[in-house]
Structure 1
Amino acid sequence: MKSKRRLSFFDHIQRNILAGLIVLAPILLTWLVFDFILAKLIAFGRPWIPALYKAIYALSPKLADSMVNGWIDSVIALLITLVLLFLLGWLTSRVIGRQILIGFELLLDKIPVLKAIYGSTKRLLMAFQAQPEQIQRVVLINYPTEKMRAVAFVTRIVRDTETGEELAVVYMPTAPNPTSGYMEIVPLSQVTPTDWTVEEGMQFVISCGASTRDSVGYSEAFRSGQTSREPAVREASKESG
């Protein structure tokens, strides 16, 4: 009798610890991502602080000395980065800014390795900037077998040089880290469009499927008349091509 009570007591503790981990895990993961991004933003703005310190010291030494404080130093570095990002965005929306950007891209175009990295990254980011109501980006593909589906993101539509068949270039992220994954080229007729937004697709991957809707069009790619669904995916080529 005592052993049963003891077992029940330890089971109760184990369940509560597991429940606590389930609550803590997404919070911890969110904080780690936020902390990583925040650290990068602060590190980018920190080299500008000495010049700002000298300028302020000439006007108010006491105010400049207060910048030496650790957390104030970090806040100022973050603000500098945000201001620089704002100015960069504002500048590139003007004619002179676009001309400078074009000149910078032409310079990179002459450097093989940097050209490939910059060009690929830019095209990928531009592809994912498409508005959800204008484009169907999240799809399901047959992977690793015909009876299994994987979430993927359409990045481009191309054609087979011999048959002329339309092919979808898709990025299939790994869970729970969507920054790594696989590029696949699959026939457009075998791609199953979803009504998920890009955000929902990413949440599905990061949460390992825990964050998803109650239903999904698992079998739609294998029904008769499946090619009638191709135009929804084909719209991707208009934005990312």
Structure 2
Amino acid sequence: MFKRHFIAGILIWLPIWVTVTVVKVLFELFDQAWASVPLQYQPSAWLGFHLPGMSVIFVCAVIWLTGVLGANFMGRRILALSESILKRIPLVRSIYNAVQQALTVILSSQGESFRQVLLIEYPRIGIWSIAFKTNRGLTQVDEATGKTLLTVFVPTTPNPTSGFLLLVPEESVKILSMSVEAALKYIVSLGTVLPGDHPSITQPHHDEVI
């Protein structure tokens, strides 16, 4: 239970660069806003002393209010409306959908999108990478290559929401006896957190990978 919750917590906080960027932008916006407010209307004039960190207070308030909105019916409708507006903007829609889908896959407690943990030779022969099987290959590609391919995702570290989508011949992958959770923990920790047991390797069978 502790392990599952701990990993869930890591994955929720994973896209740290997104969070830092958003907070930085909010800080800058509030700093600029406060700079344009006449001195007599600033909080320091009301309180009688300078209050540092107003940007931090307002950013925290905005984040908290967003959480409050998301926790009630009317707030959810407002957030849904905001989301629908974002999805109507061509470029923003593509980026938003991609990030949302990636986070849905990574944060899924069921791990259904990542079906198996694989070992593949990538980016070159002799170098091995951990990958996740996400689906079968494309029929058109199988016919064009004359091989049975698998769709695999090779995540980057420490942020597995980005990575590479590859079509790999079935016979060239190795299946690891490792859970998706353990593999993600290994990736997020930059390889410093090892699974309890050394993973065993088996060659894939047709009924296992389809």
Normalised TM-score (structure 1): 0.54
Q: Does 1:63 align with 2:47?
A: yes
2:118–2:175 CA contact under 8 A, matched in 1: yes
Matches within 5 A, 1:10-21: none
Tell me by how many angstroms 1:188 deviates: 5.8
Tell me by how many angstroms 1:79 deviates: 0.9
Q: Note closer, same or farther for the CA distance 1:123–1:181 as it changes in structure 2 (3 Å cut).
A: closer
Q: Note closer, same or farther for the CA distance 1:204–1:44 as it changes in structure 2 (3 Å cut).
A: same
Q: Does 1:169 align with 2:147?
A: no
**How far, CA to CA, are the matches of 2:15 and 2:77 in structure 1?**
34
- Which of 189, 192, 201 in structure 1 is aligned with 2:175? 192
Residue matched to 1:229: 208
Tell me by how many angstroms 1:227 deviates: 2.9
- Which of 99, 112, 115 in structure 2 is aligned with 1:121? 99
**How far, CA to CA, are the matches of 1:36 and 1:75 in structure 2?**
18
Q: What is the RMSD computed on CA atoms of the aligned residues?
A: 4.4
**How far, CA to CA, are the matches of 1:123 and 1:180 in structure 2?**
11
- Which of 82, 100, 104 in structure 1 is aligned with 2:86? 104
Q: Does 1:182 align with 2:161?
A: no
Tell me by how many angstroms 1:216 deviates: 0.8
SS at 1:229 equivalent: helix
Q: Aligned AA for 2:198? A: S
Structure 2: tracts of 5 or more residues without a match: 1-13
**How far, CA to CA, are the matches of 1:191 and 1:127 in structure 2?**
22
1:41–1:81 CA contact under 8 A, matched in 2: no
- Which of 129, 150, 160 in structure 1 is aligned with 2:139? 160
**How far, CA to CA, are the matches of 1:173 and 1:156 in structure 2?**
15
Deviations 1:31-61 (A, max 9, x none): xx9996775454243324647x88xx58984
Normalised TM-score (structure 2): 0.59
Q: Note closer, same or farther for the CA distance 1:230–1:88 as it changes in structure 2 (3 Å cut).
A: farther
Q: Note closer, same or farther for the CA distance 1:66–1:166 as it changes in structure 2 (3 Å cut).
A: farther
**How far, CA to CA, are the matches of 1:63 and 1:39 in structure 2?**
31
Residue matched to 1:215: 198
Structure 1: tracts of 5 or more residues without a match: 1-32, 232-241
Tell me by how many angstroms 1:194 deviates: 4.5
Residue matched to 1:139: 117
Deviations 1:157-205 (A, max 9, x none): 553226588754333134566576432122567462654244x334323
**How far, CA to CA, are the matches of 2:74 and 2:155 in structure 1?**
31
Q: Note closer, same or farther for the CA distance 1:34–1:168 as it changes in structure 2 (3 Å cut).
A: closer
1:136–1:195 CA contact under 8 A, matched in 2: no
**How far, CA to CA, are the matches of 2:23 and 2:154 in structure 1?**
32
Which of these two proteins has the greater Rg computed from alpha carbons?
Answer: 1
Tell me by how many angstroms 1:130 deviates: 1.6
For these two proteins, the number of residue pairs brought into alignment is: 185
Identity among equivalent pairs (%)? 19
